[in-house]
Amino acid sequence: MEQKLKGKVALVTGAGRGIGRAYALRLANLGADVAINDIDLHSWKQFDEKLTADTVVDEVKNLGRRSIGIECNVADKKEVDAMFQKILKELGHIDILINNAGGLQVRPETSYASTVPEDDLRREMDRNLMSCIFCCQAASIPMKAQKSGRIVNISSQAGLKGAPDGFYSSYGVAKAGIIAYTRYLAGELAHFGINVNCIAPAFIGTARLMQRSFSAEPGRYEALLKTIPLGRVGTPEDCAKVIEFLVTDLSDYIVGQCISVCGGVILF
């Protein structure tokens, strides 16, 4: 792979497993040094994901790049600010931020828009939206000073359209907020040479998704495939390729966009 990002420093949040891990490895393969954040750097063990080393930090180092692991909660502003201090101190600068930490942690039956409990609502906002905003704010200080940077926020199809059964409203609202926040931030930071964009994945077949959502219920996976025009769930690499596009010169003139990585799900 061409070393397009040689000399760049990236941070991927929530990169202890899953799609975030794929982002981190792709950036490292493109030549970047990569800071790995996760609330639990061994989170891959929860779903028995196959790593080639003890943590993604070690995997990045094994690719010949510098890497540090920062185990902290990105929904906590103080912890986020301390994380950026550590990155600047140990890796020198920050050029690329991928705001990947987040996900869905509410029960479907209590997630309707008209009744979602306040605690669930606030937790989803904190995990998905506030964490993204805190990291963008912290990254924008050094990026503005150096007059360059790339930020990619991770939304979801849930932020672009509702669910027919009405489930997971708080997640959808938080992910929609990420798209709106991306546009505002993009307009503000473009003057500083910083491109801010966002992607909205649909069904991406991580170890977690396949084990939690599909292994228990026969036929559910096959039913899902019928709703995807491309006829397959996405892979973490499908998302990572779009990240490559958004953090390299291929997308120099693109700001404030949300790219669906969804196999056509958004069409219906």
Beta-bridged to residue 97, according to DSSP, are 11, 151
Q: Phi then psi for 259, rounded to 5 degrees? A: -100, 125
Query: Which of 131/140 has CB closer to ligand NAD?
Result: 131
Candidates 12, 29, 43, 168; binder of ligand NAD (CB under 6 A) is 43
Q: Find the binding residues for ligand NAD in span 208-267 (CB under 6 A).
A: 208-209
Residue from 140, 170, 197, 206 that binds ligand NAD (CB under 6 A)? 206
Pick the catalytic residue: 23, 112, 168, 171?
171
Radius of gyration of the chain measured on its C-alpha atoms:
18
Of 10, 14, 169, 186, the residue at the interface with ligand NAD (CB under 6 A) is 14
Instruction: Give yes or no for residue 35 binding ligand NAD (CB under 6 A).
Output: no
The two tokens of residue 144 are 């503005």
Describe the strand order of the beta sheet including 149-154 as a list of residue ranges.
67-71, 33-38, 9-12, 96-99, 149-154, 194-201, 258-261
| Closer residue to ligand NAD (CB): 39 or 125 | 39
Residue with tokens 């904190």: 126
Torsion angle in degrees (nearest 10) through CA of 86, 87, 89, 93: -160
Token pair for 78: 């103080």
Binding characters for ligand NAD, 92-111, by CB under 6 A (x = yes) = --------xxxx--------
Q: Clarify whether 171 is annotated catalytic.
A: yes
Q: Which two tokens stand for residue 22?
A: 């794929």
Would you count residue 69 as binding ligand NAD (CB under 6 A)? no
Closer residue to ligand NAD (CB): 256 or 263: 263
Residue closer to ligand NAD (CB basis): 182 or 206: 206
Of 32 and 239, which CB lies nearer to ligand NAD in the complex structure?
239
CB 17, min distance to ligand NAD, A:
5
d(CA 241, CA 237): 6
Task: For residue 172, state whether it binds ligand NAD (rule: CB under 6 A).
Answer: no
In 47-130, where does DSSP find H-type helix?
56-62, 77-91, 118-124
39 binds ligand NAD (CB under 6 A): yes
Residue 247: helix, strand or coil by DSSP? Answer: helix
Which helix or strand (DSSP H or E) is residue 172 part of?
helix 169-189
Minimum distance between the CB of residue 209 and ligand NAD, rounded to whole angstroms? Answer: 5
Q: Which residues have a catalytic role annotated?
A: 171
Residues forming contacts to ligand NAD in the complex (CB under 6 A) are 13-14, 16-20, 37-40, 43, 73-75, 100-103, 127, 131, 154, 156, 201, 203-204, 206, 208-209
